[in-house]
Chain A
Amino acid sequence: SQQGEEDPQALSIQEGENATMNCSYKTSINNLQWYRQNSGRGLVHLILIRSNEREKHSGRLRVTLDTSKKSSSLLITASRAADTASYFCATDLGPGNTPLVFGKGTRLSVIA
């Protein structure tokens, strides 16, 4: 069963705007990861944030994690048309190497 729920399910913005996607989960986690999937392709790993971290940055990406609220957010700043994709959060219930439990994903459309 799905662990995470992304919000919103779909998001459409203009190029240059920021995009924020949220993820909520139900049980304690070891870490949380964000992935991007272009249409019909494999998943590209974006960021991993561990349960003892609160914020991470990677280029135009910023991820926050609030374990007390069991939620995470992914912010993409200065969006580009190439950012159009589906974004998934996935939780690793850990410790050790455990499978990921994926949320339902957010479909982001960036309009040029």
Chain B
Amino acid sequence: SAVISQKPSRDICQRGTSLTIQCQVDSQVTMMFWYRQQPGQSLTLIATANQGSEATYESGFVIDKFPISRPNLTFSTLTVSNMSPEDSSIYLCSAQRGNQPQHFGDGTRLSIL
């Protein structure tokens, strides 16, 4: 199974600033996804990171707020822009190869003051 490294593991940020989260997979994967998990809640899909093209966003999430890059088949970034306390969550990336299960990184715990 793919090994996924996500960083930073946690951060405390000031409101109005932006943070970029990196997700590195140890081998080429077909699909990469970004999820958000608000405190005490389940996971909600933010977007599918498409290699070489714009990400596909879910309803309620927009590119200006959550720009995503995927320059190759092993790496993706998610930026949380102009942060507010409501953005305090765990952000998780996942990767999937072919018809295999989807695997997750350890997540980034983000707190905004």
State the A residues within 8 Å of B (CB). 2, 33, 35, 40-45, 48, 88, 90, 92, 97, 99-105
Contact = CB atoms under 8 A, between A and B. Distances in A.
Interface of B: 1, 4, 6, 30-31, 33, 35, 41-45, 48, 90, 92, 94, 96, 98, 101-107, 109
Given A33-B102, A99-B48, A100-B45, A45 B1 contact: yes
Given A41-B107, A45-B102, A45-B103, A104 B30 contact: no
A102 B41 CA distance: 10
B105 A42 contact: yes
Provide the main secondary structure of the chain A interface.
Answer: strand
Contacts of B30: 97
Interface centre among B42, B96, B109 (most CB of A within 10 A): B42
A26 B36 CA distance: 22
Contacts of B103: 45
A43 B101 CA distance: 12
B101 A40 contact: no
Provide the main secondary structure of the chain B interface.
Answer: strand
A95 B47 CA distance: 18
B96 A97 contact: yes
A44 B48 CA distance: 20
A100 B109 contact: no
Contacts of A88: 42-43
Given A33-B101, A48-B101, A97-B96, A102 B106 contact: no
Given A40-B90, A43-B92, A102 B105 contact: no
A42 B71 CA distance: 24
B31 A97 contact: yes
A69 B30 CA distance: 32
A35 B35 CA distance: 14
A100 B98 CA distance: 14
B1 A104 contact: no
A90 to B, nearest CB: 8
A42 to B, nearest CB: 4
16 contacts: A2-B42, A33-B102, A40-B90, A42-B105, A42-B107, A43-B43, A43-B94, A45-B102, A45-B103, A45-B104, A88-B43, A97-B31, A100-B43, A101-B45, A102-B44, A105-B42
